[in-house]
Structure 1
Amino acid sequence: MAKRIADEPAFVLHRYDWSESSLILELLTRHHGRIAVVAKGAKKPSSNFRPVLLPLQPLHVAFGGDAEIRTLKSAEWLGGQVMPTGEALLSGYYLNELLIRLLARDDPHPALFDVYAAAVRVLAADEPEILQPALRAFELLLLREIGLLPSLDMQTATLAPLVPLERYALRAEGGLVEWPDAEGRGGLTGEQWVAMQAALDDAAPFHAALRAAAAMGELKPQLRALLHYHCGVSTLRTRQLMMDLQGL
C-alpha cells in the first residue's frame, strides 16, 4: 500500500513541464529530503496548485506513492514572507541549484532544511548588506551537512593547530592548507578559520556563520571553487546568469 505523507514542510526548488496540464516538481522537504512529485493539472487556470507552487515560499504539502516520482495531493502556502526580487531572487535560485546538484534524493537533512528556511527569510527581508554573508553561511553549512567540509580549526592533512596570524586556504582536494603567498594576500588567518568553526558549532549556526562571514571577504572565491569542484562544473547556471545580467 502506497504511503501518504501529510502536513510536510516543503519548498519548491524547481519545476518542469510534464504534460500540457501538469508539472514535475523538485521539492525540499524537512523530513524526506529532496523529492520529485507530479502536480497533476497544476497548469490549468482553475487548479488550486497554480498560485501556490512558487519557489522560495514556505509550504505544507501532502503526497503519496512509492515510485521515484510521487503524486502531489495538496499544497498549502504558509505565508509570512514576500517573494524576493532582483539580486535576492537570483541568489535564491542559486541556493536551489546547489541543493539540486549536491543533495541525493530521499536523503533527509532536517537541520539543512531549517538553514535553508532561514536563508530564504534573509533573502525576502531585502537587506543587501547581509545578502553575501548569508550565501556564505548557507554554502558552509550545506557542505558540512553533506560531509564535504573539513574541520576549520586545524590543518586537514596534519591535524596541526592553526597559528592565529598565519594564513590558510580551503582547497577541494587538500582541505585547509597553508596559504602559499609569502606576502599574506588572500586566504584567511588561523584566527578567522577558528572563529568560523565556532560559528558553525553554535546553537544557531546560520546566523552565527552569517555574522562571522560578514568580515571574511576572502571566503567567497574559496567556497566558489570548492562548490564548483563538487558540482562538477566550471560555473553554475545561476551564477552565469548573474554575470550576464551584470554585464548588460
Structure 2
Amino acid sequence: MATKRIADEPAYVLHRYDWSETSLILEVFTRHHGRVALVAKGAKRPTSSFRPVLLPLQPLSLAFGGDGDIRTLKSAEWVGGHVMPTGEALLSGYYLNELLMRLLVRDDPHPRLFEVYASAVRLLASGEAHALQWALRAFELILLKDIGLLPALNVQTLVLQSLRADDHYALVPEAGLQRVSAEDRHALKGSQWLALQDALDDANPMAALLRDCADLLIHLQRPMRLLLNYHCGVGALRTRQMMLDLQTL
C-alpha cells in the first residue's frame, strides 16, 4: 500500500511526458520509494514554480501524495550541489536515466543504488573527462548487482567452480562468467574478476571500484553493453546509439 503523503523526499527526475496542455507526467527516482510516477499539474505554465526546478540530473526534494499508480506532485525544491552536466557527460547522464527506466520497477526501493546514482551524477558534473567511463562502468555493475541480474564474479556461473587467479574468464549474457582462452580479448583473469567482486561487496562500492579497479573498468565496456542489452531486451539502448551517432558526425 502506497503512503498517501510523502514529504522531503530526495529525488531525481528520470523522464517527463506531456500529460495535457499545462501538465506533465514525471518518472522520478527517489531514495526511499524507488521509481515513482507523478503528475505535475500546471508545470508547463509560464508562471509555474515547477518549471525551473523539474530538470534531469539535479538533486531535488519532493513532496507528493495519492495512492494510485500515478501520484500528485505537491512541491519540488532544488537542493543544489552541482551544475548541470554538459556535452558527453550530459548524454551519459541520460544513459544512466534510461537504464533506471528500463530496469527498475515502480515502487521498489533501492536506497543504496540511489546514493550510487547521486555519486555518479556528481562525477559527470565534475567535468573530469577521464572519470566518465569509470563512473558509467561502476554504475552499471552496481545497478545489475543491486537488482539481482549480475552473476557472482567469484565463481564460474554454470558450474559454480571457484576462479583460478591466472585463468581467463568472460562475462557472457546467457551464461554468466565462464572460462575462455587467453586469446579472448574481452576476457579478464580470475584475479581481476575477484578484485571486482571484492569492490562490489564493499560498504561503498562506487568508491571501491573507482579506487581499486579503475584500470579494469575500462575493459568492461563491451561485456557490460551486451549484458545490459540482453536484460533490457534491446539491440541497443537509445542514448548509447545517440552517442555513437554524434561521435560519427
Partner amino acid, structure 2, of 1:113: F
Determine the structure 1 residue equivalent to 2:194. 194
Amino acid aligned to 1:42: A
Offset of 1:58 from its aligned partner? Answer: 0.4
The Cα offsets for residues 191-217 of structure 1, whole Å up to 9 and x where unpaired, read as 110000010011210111123442123
Task: Report what 2:208 is aligned to.
Answer: 208
Structure-2 residue corresponding to 1:95: 96
CA RMSD of aligned residues (A): 1.3
Q: Distance in 1 between matches of 2:3 and 2:213?
A: 45
Partner of 1:148: 149
Using the alignment, how far apart are the partners of 2:3 and 2:9 within structure 1? 16
Note if contact 1:188-1:219 (Cα within 8 Å) is conserved in structure 2: no
1:60 aligns with 2:61: yes
Q: Could you tell me how far apart the structure 1 residues matched to 2:42 and 2:213 are?
A: 44
Structure 2 SS opposite 1:242: helix
For 1:78 and 1:182, the matched residues in 2 are separated by 49
The question of 1:76 aligning with 2:74 is answered no
Q: Distance in 2 between matches of 1:228 and 1:108?
A: 23
Residues 133 and 213, structure 1, Cα contact 8 Å, conserved in 2:
no
Matched with 1:4 is 5
Percent of aligned positions that are identical: 68
User: How many residue pairs end up in the alignment?
Assistant: 247
Q: Is the 8 A contact 1:23 1:40 kept in 2?
A: yes
Q: How does 1:35-50 map to 2 (within 5 A)?
A: 35-50=36-51
Distance 1:198 1:110 in 2: 21
Counterpart of 2:186 in structure 1: which amino acid? G
Deviation at 1:171, TM superposition (A): 1.3
Once the two structures are superposed, what CA deviation does each residue of 1:151-170 show, in whole Å capped at 9, x if it has no partner? 11111112211111211011
Which segments of structure 1 move beyond 3 Å, counting only runs of 4 or more?
none
Quick one: which amino acid aligns to residue 155 of structure 1?
Q
Separation (CA, whole Å) in 1 of partners of 2:196 and 2:212: 6
Give SS of 1:215's match. Answer: helix
Cα distance in 2 for partners of 1:231, 1:46 equals 39
**Alignment pair present for 1:128 and 2:147:** no
Q: Which consecutive unaligned segments of at least 5 residues does structure 2 have?
A: none
Cα-to-partner distance string for 1:9-45 (whole Å, 9 max, x where unaligned): 0000001111111110000001111010000011111
SS at match of 1:71: strand
Structure 1 residue identity aligned to 2:52: P
Q: Is the 8 A contact 1:14 1:96 kept in 2?
A: yes
- Amino acid corresponding to residue 63 of structure 2 in structure 1: A
Cα distance per residue 1:171-200 (max 9 Å; x no partner)? 122111012x45353311101100000100
* Preserved contact between residue 171 and residue 177 of structure 1 (Cα < 8 Å): yes
- Cα distance in 1 between the residues matched to 2:173 and 2:212: 22
Aligned-partner SS, 1:75:
strand
**Residue 141 of structure 1 aligns to which amino acid in structure 2?**
I
Once the two structures are superposed, what CA deviation does each residue of 1:42-79 show, in whole Å capped at 9, x if it has no partner?
11111000000000000000000111100000001001
The aligned amino acid for 1:34 is R
